[in-house]
Amino acid sequence: MDRAPQPAGSTRAPWVTVLAGAGISTGSGIPDFRGPNGVWTLDPDAARLLDHDWYVAHADIRRRTWQMWRDNPLWQAEPTPAHRCLVDLERAGALRAICTQNFDGLQQLAGSSPPTVLELHGSITGSRCLSCGATEPTAGILARLDIDPDPHCARCGGILATDVVMFGESLPDGVFDAAVEAASGCEVFVVVGSTLTVQPVASLTQVAADAGARVVVVNAEPTPYDHLADLLDRRPISDALPDLVRELLAG
C-alpha cells in the first residue's frame, strides 16, 4: 500500500507500522504469557500446552489445551482504547500495518480492516486437522468438548488443533514476509505490549531500525531491543498508546 503524494509544504502524520504483543490485550482481561504475572511466568509447565510435539504425542496435553481454549477470557473480551486508537491511525491514512502476535481478534473487533492486521501467530477462530488439513470453526469444536474432550477430524481421524501457531510450527505462509515489508517501509515503528523475546517476530524491530524508522517501545518491562528505541514509554498501554497516536496524527 503506497501513500499518496503530499502537496509541498503540507504536514502529515508519519507512515506507521505497529508490532502488537499480548500486553495490548491485558486491559481487556486476557492474561499475557511472559509478563511478571503471565501464564507461563506463574506456571512454566503450561507452555507445554502450546508445544507442537507435546500436543501431538500426549492426549492429556490435548485435552488440557482444548479446555484452556474453552475457558479463555478472550471469548468475552472487548477492545481497549489502545486497540481503538490504532483504528484512528488507519482511518487517517497513516497506518501501514499492524503486525500482531495476538490471536484474540480484538484488533479486528475494534474496527481495523482485516488486510491491515498481520496475524503472525495465527488466529483462535479457526481450527484444522494436523493430518489432512480439513478446517472447521473453533467454536463448533469447543461446543462438543464435554462429549469429545480430545477432538479428532471427522474426515480422516487426525488430531485437531486451532490455527494458533504452536512452538515448533512455522508461521502462516507469507505473513512474516509481509511484516518485514511493513517494518522496512515505515517511518515510525511502534512496539506495544511485547517482550520482544520471540523470534523471528522480535527481529522486525531491528529491520525497522536498519531501514531508518524511528522506533518507539511502549511496554512496562525492558525488552532486548530497547537500545534501538528513540522513545521508551513504560506507562499503562491504554494511556500511553492513545497519547502517542494523537501526537503522530498531529504531524
- Which H or E run includes 128? strand 126-129
Catalytic residues: 121
Contacts by residues 224-228 (CB-CB < 8 Å, ≥ 24 positions apart):
224/196, 224/197, 225/191, 225/196
The three three-digit cell numbers of residue 31, written as one number? 492474561
Secondary structure, 3-state, 132-189:
CCCEEEHHHHHHCCCCCCCCECCCCCCEEEECCCCECCCCCCCHHHHHHHHHHCCCEE
